[in-house]
Structure 1
Amino acid sequence: MDKERYSLFLDETRNSEKKTSGIAGIAIKNDNISFMNGMLNELKVALWPDLAQEDAENIILHVTDIVRSNIRFNKEYRIFRAKSNKEQLYDGLSEILDKNDMTVFGSMINLQSLGHKYKKTFDNYIADEMCMEEILNNYACFLKYHSATGKIIFESRSNGDNDKSDRIFRKQFYKIITHGTKMYKAIELQEVIDGIEFIKKRDNNAGLQLADFVPYHFMRNFCGSSQQKENMFKTLKKKRYSGGVTKGEQLSSIFGMNFIK
């Protein structure tokens, strides 16, 4: 019997003022990806009924610009000046998460408080590695309990033809996969985690667009900032992996979204 296959879509977040860094996103069964794509396209068409279907489907959702109704990112974002359209967006995204049985994973670090504790300077490079180790531990646990294998899909940080940032991150990923973690030996990780792939924002990938909303909401929570009036934080909290085959339960702050400070 073939094992189920999953994809974990991840994006990064930074808050330079609070000196915090994080990585977070959503896992979905590969069999559900086509349905997820269709649902997101239907939502876009519903949000932009005056556009041709193809034009609406080609709009890329980016949470920080949606919050600001930033028409410099996309002129069609003017619709998000209306509260009702933001509510329609978040309701639609929450429905996609529910109907596709998605699971939230992530890790965030306060570099300043951690540095004070250990008398050490922590930069974003170290933060990325620490976050990925936490996520890979928990993703591996999830895959083992679901008798599945899975890969990581990360939003590319490359700037034009310069993919140095992606190559550095890929190196960090394979360093963990090669040497293992305090929780799993390398061979145990390699049995369930297939590899990592980088996809650019402009490629209009549905999984990465949904993942974009995860670090934004949890970073606000981590930094003690209130959520925007229109948000999907409650939905995302319920989707956090909590160990075994569960979501949204007591151990979500360990297995799903953990904060290091």
Structure 2
Amino acid sequence: MKDEYVLYLDESEFKRSMTFAIAGIAIKKDNIGLLEKEIAEVKKLIWDEEYITLNNPVLHCTELEKVFVKRNSDDITGIRPEYQELKKRKSEDIEKIYTRVYGKISQALRKSGATVFSCIIKIQQLRALFFLDENHNGIHLIDDQYSIALQKIIENFTHYLSVNDGYGDVIYESRNNIGENSAKSPDIKLINVYHKIQANNKGIVYTDSAAVQNRNRTIVTYSKSENIAGLQFADFVAYNIIKLEGCKVKEQITDFMKQIHRMAYNGGHSISEIDQRSFWGMRVLPSYLRMEELLSENKTLRNSYANLKKARNKQKRIIDAQKEKIAQLEEENKRLLDLIKSIDIKKES
């Protein structure tokens, strides 16, 4: 019997950097119970058991981030009710809780055997490519960012399912407003895109349509209030995958960011063998941006290697000179010993 997998997806967007992502985790269906158990343990780090029983709070990455970032400030507004009590705690207590929450989530993802999938879109650069100017009537030749990201992820998820010889379902956090279910609602539009991917390979570039249809089964959406464990983990992955992509200083990359990067799908290969995560598990569009980044990194590495080689050659010259000096001193020492020996012989005679 083939294994069944669930891909939990959520989206995140950073307005300032105009960066958008759909991201989440794929796990075996057999491990859903483990995720639910682990999310319950994470919540106990923030709320007591009585509060959890009475209020059924939802773990929310951005709410936790707001409280943590402004833990030393009295100006914390716009916080969900379930996080009001957390913000009243001491600054050092908030920091401890924040650290423990991320540590526990990392541990849970490892335990569940989760694999990270994401597609990051640089909105401004994509528009620069596909938004035509006024001379071309200002036509926008671009698909919806949700559709683009979902297409890439489903294609890569199909590859993952094929490698693992399994079937997959997608669970996506609802984008609808309360009570909204019209044909133009965000959820219905996203579900329609999914079915178009299945039916006619919409947006799929490299994968055969039969594989997409055979491996992928359904997509459903749930609101945050449904308290789905997998979606709460996906929420943390989506938010932090954008932070990771935007990090230019290594010291700002957290252990959790490193963890989800290690867990990003690598096309069925071990990372030590070959690193293909920028294509499979952490896709960045437009892709030329990633290529430019890799070329820049390659140039930096080449320059570093050249500097190391230069330093090594300099060191070699110093060592060679020292060896030559030692050889000269040894020769001089030998000459002196021979001279002393010759003097001693003369004295004896």
Same fold, TM-score > 0.5, yes or no: yes
Match of 2:44, SS?
helix
* Structure 2 alignment gaps of length 5 or more: 68-75, 133-139, 287-349
Equivalent residue for 2:26? 27
Instruction: Note the C-alpha offset of 1:13.
Output: 1.5
- The question of whether the paired residues in 2 share the 8 Å contact of 1:11 and 1:154 is answered with yes
Alpha-carbon distance in structure 2 between the residues aligned to 1:229 and 1:258: 18
Instruction: Note the C-alpha offset of 1:94.
Output: 0.4
Alpha-carbon distance in structure 1 between the residues aligned to 2:221 and 2:12: 16
Equivalent residue for 2:224? 201
Instruction: Note the C-alpha offset of 1:189.
Output: 0.4
Equivalent residue for 2:63? 65
Letter in structure 2 aligned against 1:184: T
Alpha-carbon distance in structure 2 between the residues aligned to 1:119 and 1:235: 36
Find the structure with the greater CA-based Rg. Answer: 2
- The question of whether the paired residues in 2 share the 8 Å contact of 1:155 and 1:208 is answered with yes
More helix by share: 2
* Structure 1 alignment gaps of length 5 or more: none
- The question of whether the paired residues in 1 share the 8 Å contact of 2:43 and 2:59 is answered with no
Alpha-carbon distance in structure 2 between the residues aligned to 1:112 and 1:53: 41
**CA 1:92 to 1:231, structure 2 compared with 1: closer, same or farther past 3 Å?**
same
Alpha-carbon distance in structure 1 between the residues aligned to 2:206 and 2:49: 52
Q: RMSD in angstroms over aligned alpha carbons?
A: 2.5
- Deviation track 1:136-191 (CA, whole Å, cap 9, x = no partner) reads 11100000010110111000001011131101111111111111122123221011
More strand by share: 1
1:252 to 2:277 alignment: yes
Match of 1:60, SS?
coil
- The question of whether the paired residues in 2 share the 8 Å contact of 1:137 and 1:184 is answered with yes
Alpha-carbon distance in structure 2 between the residues aligned to 1:206 and 1:77: 21
- The question of whether the paired residues in 2 share the 8 Å contact of 1:87 and 1:230 is answered with no
Identity percentage of aligned residues: 26
Count, aligned residues: 258
Equivalent residue for 2:124? 112
Q: TM-score, normalised by structure 1?
A: 0.89
Equivalent residue for 1:4? 3
Q: TM-score, normalised by structure 2?
A: 0.68
Instruction: Note the C-alpha offset of 1:228.
Output: 6.9
Instruction: Note the C-alpha offset of 1:207.
Output: 0.2
- Give the number of the structure with larger relative contact order, counting CA–CA contacts within 8 Å between residues 6 or more apart: 1
- The question of whether the paired residues in 1 share the 8 Å contact of 2:45 and 2:101 is answered with no
More displaced 10-residue stretch of structure 1: 181-190 or 206-215: 181-190
Match of 1:149 among 167, 190, 208: 167
Match of 1:86, SS?
helix
- The question of whether the paired residues in 2 share the 8 Å contact of 1:241 and 1:247 is answered with no
Match of 1:197, SS?
strand
Instruction: Note the C-alpha offset of 1:129.
Output: 1.6
